[in-house]
């Protein structure tokens, strides 16, 4: 683990990505300390341009854009982590089962994944939220479910290649039970691509949340999220462009950081990209 972080810091991509991700996380965790105003408080200064009083200006209700952005980071990080967690754990379980047992189990799981995959992810999330009702919890579940097929496929492919390794046959010939084979021998050897997938998936989850909130199906007003801020800025974009620019830049930087981190992690964990010893 120590060595992993040492290598990550040596890698330029990983270093920049890690710094960006840490910044977002710090902002999210310490939001009350960082924010200069109450994000929900409507002041008398409507559509105020950025300046001394309001760092990034105010929106059409006179709320401080900077503070809303800071609290919005909370939503993004929270949604990103929990939704990715749902997708990752679901996908890991399904992928292990499909890859290890094969046959009917594999067929049923993978055909189901094909169906899930066939829908555009936003559309699928929309449908799930429409059924469950629009609130943050349901949004997270929807985003998580949408991520499952990607994880299932990654894990299953990796399990298939690990399963073909002789050490798995060797373990079976010793008389080890299936459960132990999966947990002790298959799982540790599929972790690397799984972790890479998880890191990369965080950014997609954040993006999907922003899109859903933009469409009014994510977090409900007046609570801020980057997507809903962007959505609300539409009406006043000509008058107060900063209300649109701030969340856009935040989304871009956050996504970029998570992706850079993902690339850095992949560089370290993927032995195929590593120099031969």
Partner 1 sequence: MSALLEVEGLQKHFPVRSGVFNRITGAIRVVEGVSFSVDKGKTFALVGESGCGKTTAGRTILRLHEPTGGSVRLAGVDLAALEGEGLRTARRDMQMVFQNPFGSLNPRMKVGKLLEEPLVVHGIASGKRAQEMVDAMMEKVGLAAEFGRRYPHQFSGGQRQRIAIARALMCSPKLVIADEPVSALDVSIQSQILNLLVDLRTELGLTYVFISHDLNVVRRISDAIGVMYLGRLVERAETGALYERPLHPYSEALLSAVPSLEPSKRKERIILSGDVPNPASPPPGCVFHPRCPKAMEVCRRSVPPDKEPSPGRLVACHLY
Reduced to 3 states, what is the DSSP secondary structure of residue 9? Answer: helix
Q: Which of 53, 188, 221, 241 binds partner 1 (CB under 8 A)?
A: 188
Total residues binding partner 1 (CB under 8 A): 17
Residue 1 CB, shortest distance to partner 1, in Å, is 14
> Per the structure block, which two tokens stand in for 34?
């960082």
185 is a contact residue toward partner 1 (CB under 8 A): yes
Residues 78-97 that bind partner 1 (CB under 8 A): none
Residue 25 CB, shortest distance to partner 1, in Å, is 29
Closer to partner 1 by CB, 60 or 106: give it. Answer: 106
3 is a contact residue toward partner 1 (CB under 8 A): no
Residue 175 CB, shortest distance to partner 1, in Å, is 3
CA distance 78 to 113: 25
Residue 64's beta-bridge partner residues?
58
CA distance 141 to 148: 11
> Per the structure block, which two tokens stand in for 144?
């998580």
Contact 99, 157 (CB under 8 A): yes
| Cβ-based burial of 83 (10 A; exposed 0-12, middle 13-18, buried ≥19) | buried
Q: Which of 111, 180, 235, 274 binds partner 1 (CB under 8 A)?
A: 180
Residues 137-176 that bind partner 1 (CB under 8 A): 165-167, 169-176
How many helices (H) and strands (E) in the chain? 12, 0
Contact 62, 38 (CB under 8 A): no
Closer to partner 1 by CB, 109 or 210: give it. Answer: 109
| 231: CB partners within 8 A, 6+ apart | 213, 214, 215, 216
CA distance 220 to 203: 21
Residue 169 CB, shortest distance to partner 1, in Å, is 6
Region of 8-16, 135-143, 179-187, 247-255 interacting with partner 1 (CB under 8 A): 179-187
Residue 176 CB, shortest distance to partner 1, in Å, is 5
Closer to partner 1 by CB, 147 or 156: give it. Answer: 156
Closer to partner 1 by CB, 184 or 235: give it. Answer: 184
Residue 11 CB, shortest distance to partner 1, in Å, is 22
Residue 58's beta-bridge partner residues?
64
Closer to partner 1 by CB, 15 or 172: give it. Answer: 172
Closer to partner 1 by CB, 36 or 161: give it. Answer: 161
Measured in degrees and rounded to the nearest 5, phi and psi for residue 77 equal -65, -45
Residue 101 CB, shortest distance to partner 1, in Å, is 15
| Exposure class string for 233-244: b at 16+ Cβ within 10 A, else e | beeeeeebebbb
- Scan for tokens 């373990």, then name that residue: 171
Residues 28-67 that bind partner 1 (CB under 8 A): none
Q: Which of 102, 119, 160, 189 binds partner 1 (CB under 8 A)?
A: 189
Q: Which residues bind partner 1 (CB under 8 A)?
A: 165-167, 169-177, 180, 184-185, 188-189
């Amino acid at each position: 683990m120590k060595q992993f972080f040492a290598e990550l810091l040596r890698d330029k991509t990983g270093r920049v990505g890690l710094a960006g991700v840490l910044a977002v996380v710090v902002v999210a965790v310490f939001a009350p300390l960082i924010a200069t105003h109450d994000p929900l408080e409507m002041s008398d200064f409507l559509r105020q341009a950025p300046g001394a009083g309001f760092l990034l200006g105010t929106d059409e209700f006179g709320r401080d854009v900077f503070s809303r952005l800071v609290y919005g980071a909370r939503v993004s990080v929270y949604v990103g982590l929990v939704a990715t967690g749902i997708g990752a754990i679901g996908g890991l379980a399904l992928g292990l089962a499909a890859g290890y047992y094969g046959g009917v189990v594999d067929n049923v799981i993978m055909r189901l994944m094909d169906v899930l995959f066939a829908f555009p992810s936003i559309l699928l999330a929309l449908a799930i939220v429409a059924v469950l009702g629009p609130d943050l919890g349901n949004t997270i579940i929807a985003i998580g479910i949408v991520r499952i097929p990607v994880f299932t496929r990654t894990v299953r492919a990796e399990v298939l290649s690990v399963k073909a390794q002789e050490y798995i046959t060797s373990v079976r010939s010793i008389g080890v039970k299936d459960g132990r084979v999966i947990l002790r021998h298959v799982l540790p050897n599929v972790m690397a691509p799984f972790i890479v997938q998880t890191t990369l998936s965080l950014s997609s989850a954040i993006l999907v949340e922003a899109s859903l909130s933009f469409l009014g199906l994510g977090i409900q007003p007046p609570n801020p999220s980057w997507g809903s801020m962007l959505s609300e800025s539409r009406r006043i974009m000509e008058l107060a462009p900063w209300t649109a620019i701030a969340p856009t830049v935040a989304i871009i930087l956050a996504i970029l950081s998570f992706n850079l981190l993902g690339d850095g992690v992949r560089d370290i964990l993927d032995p195929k990209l590593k120099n031969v010893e």
